[in-house]
Amino acid sequence: MLGKMATIEHLPMVTVFSKVHGIDAMLRTLHPDIPVKFVEARVQKDEPHAGLFKKLSKHEMEVLQEAEILLTDPYTVGTLLYELPNLKWMQITWAGADGIFKQLDRSKPFPTYTMTRFGGVSGIHVRDYVIGQIIAHERNFAEIRESQKKANWSDLLKSCNPKYRALQNLSIGILGVGEIGKEIARACKTLGMIVWGLVRQDLPAEKRCEHVDHYRKMDRLQELLENCDYICNVLPSTQETIGLLNGDVLQPCQAKKSIFINVGRGNIITEESILHALSKGWLSAAILDVFQTEPLPDDSPLWKHPQVTITPHYAAWIKANEAIDVFVENYWRYVNGEDLKHIVSWERGY
C-alpha cells in the first residue's frame, strides 16, 4: 500500500481543471511530492458567468480523459461529466455540488467515479457572514455609513437605531443543520441567541447539535417560522428543497416580522415570493447572497428594494490554500486506500 513516503513515480497524478486563481501553482509549491497536470479553464471574455468557457483543445481534452484524479469546479467541469472514462475520483472546490447535478443527464446511469466536495471549511466563512449581517442590520451600519458622508454629528445620530436588539434577546431558525448550519448554530448560541433547527428527519440525541435548542422536521416548519426573529437558509438544492418557501409559506413569520437570510441556494424561494412576503409585512427585511438566477439580472426589483440587502454569492468564497488543504487530506486517504471525506451521494444530490 502506498503512503506519504512513496516515491513520486508511484503516486497517482492529479489533474487540475479549475478557475480558482493560482490553485495549481500553490499545490505544486506546498506539496511538491504530488504530481500535477494543469488544464486551464479559460472564461470567455464577453461571457464571464460561471459555466461559459472557451472550447478545449484536442490535447487538453486528452489530458482530462486520461485523468484518474480531477480537482475541479462544478461549473468548470460542466458538460464533461460523461467524458472522463479513466476518472476514479473528482474533488470539487465548492461546498455545494448542485452545479454538478444541473449537468447530469437523468436518462443515463450516474457516473461511476467518486465525487467529494469542499467540506469542513465553508462553515466558518458563512458563520462570520451571518453574524456580521445580523449585527449590521440591528445596528443600522449601512445607513450610518451613508450619513457619515454629510459630516454632521446630528445627522449621524439620527441614522442610528435606538431600538436595536442585543443578540442575546433574539432567536434564529436555521434551515438545514448540517456542517455549515451547525457552525452557525454554535456561534449564535455562544452569543446568547435561541437557536431553532430544521431537519429532514428526527435525530437521536447523540446526533443532535448541542447548540440547537429546538429541532423541527420539515412538516413542522411553520412552528420554526413563527418563533424566530431571523430565518437563515443553508439548505442544499434538492428536489425536496426547491421552492420550499414559495407562495404563502412565510406567512407565519409575521408573528416576529422576521429577517430572512439566504446563504443556501436561491431556488428555495422565488423572487416574487420574497417581494410578496416583504409587501405583506411577514418579513421586515431580506439579506440575500444567493438567487434563482445568477448573476442577478439588472432589472430585478430586488436591487432597489429598501428592505433588501444584496451580496454577490460571496458568503464563503473559495480560497486556494483552503481548497488545497481539503484536497490533500483526501489525496493521502485515496493513496492509502482509506475512506474519503465529504463524499457526495449521486442518488441524494448532496
pLDDT tens column, 46-68: 444 445 567 899 999 999 999 99
Phi and psi torsions of 288, nearest 5°: -120, 120
pLDDT tens column, 103-123: 899 899 999 999 999 999 999
- Rounded average pLDDT over 121-136: 97
Active-site annotation holds for 265 = yes
**Is the predicted pLDDT of residue 147 greater than 90, yes or no?**
yes
Element (H, E) at 87: none
Residue 280, CA atoms < 13 Å, CB-side half-sphere: 18
**CATH 3.40.50.720 for the 123-310 domain, yes or no:** yes
| Cell representation of residue 36 | 500535477
| Cell representation of residue 113 | 467515479
- Rounded average pLDDT over 273-295: 97
Classify residue 168 as exposed, middle or buried by CB count within 10 Å of its CB (0-12, 13-18, 19+): exposed
Top-level CATH class of 8-118+318-335?
alpha beta
Chain centroid offset of residue 248 CA: 25
Domains 8-118+318-335 and 123-310 share a fold: yes
Query: pLDDT at position 192, please?
Result: 98
Q: Which residues contact 218 (CB under 8 A, 6 or more apart)?
A: 198, 199, 200, 240, 244
Scanning the chain, the segments in alpha helix (DSSP H) are: 23-30, 58-66, 74-77, 98-101, 122-139, 141-148, 153-158, 179-190, 221-225, 271-279, 320-335
3-class state of residue 198 by DSSP: strand
Domain definitions of the chain by residue range = 8-118+318-335, 123-310
Question: Residue 3: which pLDDT band, with cuts at 50, 70 and 90?
Answer: very low
Tell me the helix, strand and coil percentages in the chain, rounded to 5: 35, 15, 50
Strands (E), 200-282: 214-217, 230-233, 258-262
Q: 10, 294, 338, 348: which one is catalytic?
A: 294
What sign does the CA torsion over 279, 280, 286, 288 have? negative
Active-site annotation holds for 125 = no
Q: 208, 214, 313, 333: which one is catalytic?
A: 313
pLDDT tens column, 187-223: 999 999 999 999 999 988 898 999 999 999 999 999 9
pLDDT tens column, 27-49: 999 999 999 999 998 765 544 44
Active-site annotation holds for 106 = no
d(CA 64, CA 55): 13
Angle at the Cα of 272 (from 270 to 277), degrees rounded to 5? Answer: 100
Q: 265, 276, 322, 342: which one is catalytic?
A: 265
Query: pLDDT at position 8, please?
Result: 47
- The b/e string for 24-44 (b: 16+ C-beta within 10 A; e otherwise) is bebbeeebeebbbbbbebebe
- Global pTM reads 0.89
d(CA 12, CA 27): 14
